Structure 1
Amino acid sequence: MVKNNSSTIMNGNNHTSEHMITLNIHIPHDNVIHSMQFDIQMLINDICYNIQQHLLMTIDHDLSEYGLFINDAQHSVRSYWLDPTKTLNYYALKNEDHVEYKNRYRPLKIRLLDGTVKTILIDDSLIVAQLMVYICTKFGIANYDEYSLVYDIDTDDSINNTKTATLLRDRSLQRTDKKMEELRKKCHTDDDTLWLDQSKTLRQQNIDEQSTVILRRKYFFSDTNIDQRDPVQLNLLYVQCRNAIIDGTHPVTYDEAIQFSGLQCQIQFGDYEESKHKPGIIDIRDFLPKEYAKTKNVEKRIFLEHKKHIGLSELDGKVKYTQLCRSLRTYGVTFFLVKEKMSGKNKLVPRLLGVTKDSVVRVDERTKDFIQVWPLTHVKRWTASPNTFTLDFGDYASAYYSVQTHEGQQISQLIAGYIDIILKKRKDREDKTAGNDIVDEEATMIEDIIAPGKATIIEPNCPSFDHVHQKNVYSPPIIRGTFSDSTNHSDHQQQGNYFSSQIYEQAKSLSNNQHSNDGTMLFSTIENARNTTYTVQSQLARELQ
């Protein structure tokens, strides 16, 4: 490495030394270091421009792709890119600190659920939430906010063992119950899925050029609209459904398992041919859950089911498979194994806590039967601590629902993610409706005669003028990352930070309006009854006379 000791002053005129800082600019491409002096009030973007103008570099790439990078060789997760919109003073840099000037773009290996691995160039300075827009666009996926990245443990080798150990360390240290661990594996929960934090960069999560990540659907919200017109998302959804059926994430009966495997044969092999499709040509473990793999004559049953789908195309088969999978009650549920207090006893028992696009559910850990369902609109707020997760249902329940778990942050992020998507979709619909809702002042007006008993008094709802009434209808989208730092929890406080649900308040408001309308209808009904009674009494009186 060559070091150039000459110092270049950038924007140093009329500034005292206290406003200046000397940095060692390392250019990895040329393997040289230049000592340069900068004004601490300069924007990072301007510093990059000055570096480009004053240093001779053999770079043949677009210089707009370059940026400043703080490289911590001992702790790579502490390495970070300097934001072009920030000033140098924003960062706690000292004189003679080393800063790398290099290309922000680097390759990232992404594995799809069908096993294919694709390598794309990504901007290493962006957080995962921003990268998802680019990655999904690259793969032709529209609903980028429903997908996320998972660290691929299967591709981990001896070089990366330390990395995997770091990612899993916190969870493994917290878990000491062997029975719970065995049950967790059997239930195929989301506890050990290493979802990347969307509020951090890949570099901050130790994902480097050698790492592989998996592109997976995390939120099952708009997947019902996926059909033949979107073959990319259809294939991703089909593979995720197929894997969940085979590994037991979705419990199915024997007959249902045969239905799924017959469709899978049609998708993979095409039309049934008696001379070709005979017992012994398929690996049953790739088509059936393991509890049915050794059933007698099961392969014949599969081919009989396969025969029913002659003429069905691959795309139509995938649509039918995903539709059949959606009919399962466990579809779209993300499960977490927790411990809850047994009713009437001071004892904790295992339970599955599930999160869907519209509800939170308590599920039997053995059969995956639903025990209790709470709509998301009933969730007023929730809190996650290192060892517990608590739900507050406001007026819909008399007590909190609290469980013991080390996955509180994951559950919290999942609920917040679904609420974020709901609010975003709702706002999009409202904006679209508002755009089409043009009032025509010359529109025809129809006058209707209303009976007194059916009339409703309409009054302006004017607040008192000495108070300003302000209500937040919609907040900016949430970046689904770490919502609270475990270091913020004190020893005497079990709860973490509370997160309030906006859809709870909206649902509550709608409910109150409904009750108000119900009251108006009730009074109208009473008034109608009184009028009818009075009319009948008058008629009887006249007849008696």
Structure 2
Amino acid sequence: MAEVKLVIRVYFVDDSFKTLAVNSNISAKDLAMNVVAEKIELQQKETFALFYYKNGECRCLDDDEQPCKLMVHETVGSDADFQKYIGEKMEWEKLKKEWEKDSKIVFKRRVFLKHKAIPREQDKFLHYSYIQAVADVRDGTYPCSQSAAIELAGLQMQVTFGDHNKKVHVAGFLKDKIGRFIPAPLLQSNRKLDDWEKDIFNEHARITGIKKEDAMLHYLNHVRNWSFYGSTFWSVQTVNKDTANLPDQVVLAVNSNGIQLLKLGTKEPILTQRYADIYSWAYKRNAFAFVSGVLSKQKFQFATPHGKDIARTLQAYVEILLEERKKDGRIN
């Protein structure tokens, strides 16, 4: 019997998407690496993965998860008859319409190696890294000062519109677009649109002549200097706050350096544990813990429903960093 094909949408962080006909039992890894990456002609695909978004929350899909089954079970229920939807086109279309009200599958970077520069000639990798950085700045995932936001907005204007044109880029030009260029938290201030536009246009005019790809690189190089660039963040509850000397709630970040514990809201660093200093980690349904220290070990325990995702993200970084060391000849 021929494998049934289902039509699904896979989104990117800028809300663009590809419509794909895929095998009903395709795995998340196969869909990401062998379908989406090929469709968008992305060669440097190892650091990308598929994420499940629902109502502003997201998690990375396990390699062996089946996105089509996920769509059915999350929309109808875990006891739904999957065969009903793969056998009837109308049923699948109805389910997709319901699914898309609050859910989507997103293809984006999962792992960021801060020590590795992004080559200009890798245009696809550059593009998808850039749009993800813009999204993380825009929604406040990366805290950003007003001056940095204006500098980044100028670069984004150059990427989006080309050189500054004083006949086109006039007062009111960004009226319906300002949220695409300035981080949401900064827009909550009482600063007027005219003031934002004036500063952004001045910055945009200052960099006239910069090519689109170079503007993308400048943008990425700016945010790559931030300590939390490329981090995945989870708000967690500290269980052993007295022995760990931590606040009740912290933001736990995982990146290419290791684990960072940050202040809730501001994301100011409290503690950084590099991979070389992390002895072990473990998770269960509503908890995550790690042990650090070489000579004297200390345990950090947190209550969180995201323990599995934290552990899997750590493992993804370790595997890629080890692979990098093998390529460099630092380990056999």
What is the TM-score normalised by the length of structure 1?
Answer: 0.51
1:102 aligns with 2
Q: Does 1:144 align with 2:45?
A: yes
Deviations 1:388-424 (Å, cap 9, x if unpaired)?
Answer: 2111225254321111111111111111111111222
2:34 aligns with 134
Aligned pairs for 1:26-105 (under 5 A) are 101-105=1-5
Say which of 263, 266, 274 aligns to 2:155: 263
The answer as to whether partners of 1:132 and 1:145 remain within 8 angstroms in 2 is no
Q: Does 1:115 align with 2:15?
A: yes
1:13 aligns with none
Offset at residue 347 of structure 1 (A):
10
Q: Does 1:389 align with 2:288?
A: yes
The answer as to whether partners of 1:383 and 1:412 remain within 8 angstroms in 2 is yes
Structure 2 portions without partners, runs of 5+: 73-85, 87-91
Say which of 247, 250, 253 aligns to 1:351: 250
Deviations 1:350-372 (Å, cap 9, x if unpaired)?
Answer: 11111011211111113211111
State the Cα RMSD in Å: 2.7
Instruction: Supply the distance in 2 between the matched residues of 1:138 and 1:419 (Cα, whole angstroms).
Output: 28
Q: What amino acid sits opposite 1:141 in the alignment? A: L
Instruction: Supply the distance in 2 between the matched residues of 1:144 and 1:327 (Cα, whole angstroms).
Output: 23
Instruction: Supply the distance in 1 between the matched residues of 2:284 and 2:46 (Cα, whole angstroms).
Output: 26
Paired residues in the alignment total 297
Say which of 319, 324, 327 aligns to 1:420: 319
Instruction: Supply the distance in 1 between the matched residues of 2:27 and 2:51 (Cα, whole angstroms).
Output: 14
2:77 aligns with none
Q: Does 1:377 align with 2:276?
A: yes
Offset at residue 284 of structure 1 (A):
2.0
Q: Does 1:337 align with 2:235?
A: yes
1:499 aligns with none
Deviations 1:448-491 (Å, cap 9, x if unpaired)?
Answer: xxxxxxxxxxxxxxxxxxxxxxxxx88xxxxxxxxxxxxxxxxx
1:213 aligns with 105
Q: Structure 1 residues 106, 253: closer, same or farther in 2, change over 3 A?
A: same
Instruction: Supply the distance in 2 between the matched residues of 1:309 and 1:413 (Cα, whole angstroms).
Output: 41
Instruction: Supply the distance in 2 between the matched residues of 1:345 and 1:246 (Cα, whole angstroms).
Output: 33
The answer as to whether partners of 2:44 and 2:125 remain within 8 angstroms in 1 is no
Q: Structure 1 residues 346, 291: closer, same or farther in 2, change over 3 A?
A: closer
Q: Structure 1 residues 134, 111: closer, same or farther in 2, change over 3 A?
A: same
- Larger mean Cα displacement after TM superposition, 299-308 or 340-349: 340-349
Offset at residue 426 of structure 1 (A):
2.5
SS of the equivalent of 1:122 reads strand
SS of the equivalent of 2:61 reads coil
Q: Provide the identity percentage.
A: 23
Aligned pairs for 1:268-417 (under 5 A) are 268-282=160-174, 283-293=177-187, 294-296=190-192, 297-340=195-238, 341-343=240-242, 349-393=248-292, 395-417=294-316
Instruction: Supply the distance in 1 between the matched residues of 2:281 and 2:182 (Cα, whole angstroms).
Output: 38
Q: What amino acid sits opposite 2:27 in the alignment? A: I
Q: Structure 1 residues 346, 307: closer, same or farther in 2, change over 3 A?
A: closer
Higher RCO (C-alpha under 8 Å, 6+ residues apart): 2
1:92 aligns with none
Offset at residue 195 of structure 1 (A):
2.4
Offset at residue 115 of structure 1 (A):
2.5
Instruction: Supply the distance in 2 between the matched residues of 1:236 and 1:422 (Cα, whole angstroms).
Output: 21
Q: What amino acid sits opposite 1:292 in the alignment? A: L
Instruction: Supply the distance in 2 between the matched residues of 1:333 and 1:262 (Cα, whole angstroms).
Output: 24
Instruction: Supply the distance in 2 between the matched residues of 1:347 and 1:375 (Cα, whole angstroms).
Output: 18
Instruction: Supply the distance in 1 between the matched residues of 2:206 and 2:306 (Cα, whole angstroms).
Output: 44
Say which of 121, 128, 132 aligns to 1:229: 121
The answer as to whether partners of 1:196 and 1:205 remain within 8 angstroms in 2 is no
Q: Structure 1 residues 249, 407: closer, same or farther in 2, change over 3 A?
A: same
The answer as to whether partners of 1:378 and 1:396 remain within 8 angstroms in 2 is no
The answer as to whether partners of 1:151 and 1:214 remain within 8 angstroms in 2 is yes
SS of the equivalent of 2:59 reads coil
Instruction: Supply the distance in 1 between the matched residues of 2:126 and 2:295 (Cα, whole angstroms).
Output: 38
Instruction: Supply the distance in 2 between the matched residues of 1:395 and 1:224 (Cα, whole angstroms).
Output: 27
Aligned pairs for 1:499-514 (under 5 A) are none
Instruction: Supply the distance in 2 between the matched residues of 1:267 and 1:238 (Cα, whole angstroms).
Output: 10
Q: What amino acid sits opposite 1:358 in the alignment? A: N
Instruction: Supply the distance in 1 between the matched residues of 2:314 and 2:235 (Cα, whole angstroms).
Output: 16
Offset at residue 201 of structure 1 (A):
2.3
Aligned pairs for 1:447-458 (under 5 A) are none
The answer as to whether partners of 1:361 and 1:370 remain within 8 angstroms in 2 is yes
The answer as to whether partners of 2:138 and 2:181 remain within 8 angstroms in 1 is yes
Q: Does 1:198 align with 2:83?
A: no
Instruction: Supply the distance in 1 between the matched residues of 2:126 and 2:245 (Cα, whole angstroms).
Output: 47
Q: What amino acid sits opposite 1:232 in the alignment? A: K
Instruction: Supply the distance in 2 between the matched residues of 1:411 and 1:259 (Cα, whole angstroms).
Output: 32
Deviations 1:86-143 (Å, cap 9, x if unpaired)?
Answer: xxxxxxxxxxxxxxx2325443321222332212333444422233320323322233
Q: Structure 1 residues 344, 146: closer, same or farther in 2, change over 3 A?
A: closer
Q: Structure 1 residues 344, 414: closer, same or farther in 2, change over 3 A?
A: closer
Structure 1 portions without partners, runs of 5+: 1-100, 155-184, 186-191, 434-472, 475-545
The answer as to whether partners of 1:363 and 1:370 remain within 8 angstroms in 2 is yes
SS of the equivalent of 1:256 reads helix
Offset at residue 225 of structure 1 (A):
3.5
SS of the equivalent of 2:242 reads coil
SS of the equivalent of 1:240 reads helix
- Larger mean Cα displacement after TM superposition, 196-205 or 302-311: 196-205
Offset at residue 204 of structure 1 (A):
3.9
Q: Structure 1 residues 278, 343: closer, same or farther in 2, change over 3 A?
A: same
Instruction: Supply the distance in 2 between the matched residues of 1:272 and 1:396 (Cα, whole angstroms).
Output: 57
Instruction: Supply the distance in 1 between the matched residues of 2:316 and 2:60 (Cα, whole angstroms).
Output: 13
Offset at residue 222 of structure 1 (A):
6.9
Q: Structure 1 residues 251, 429: closer, same or farther in 2, change over 3 A?
A: same
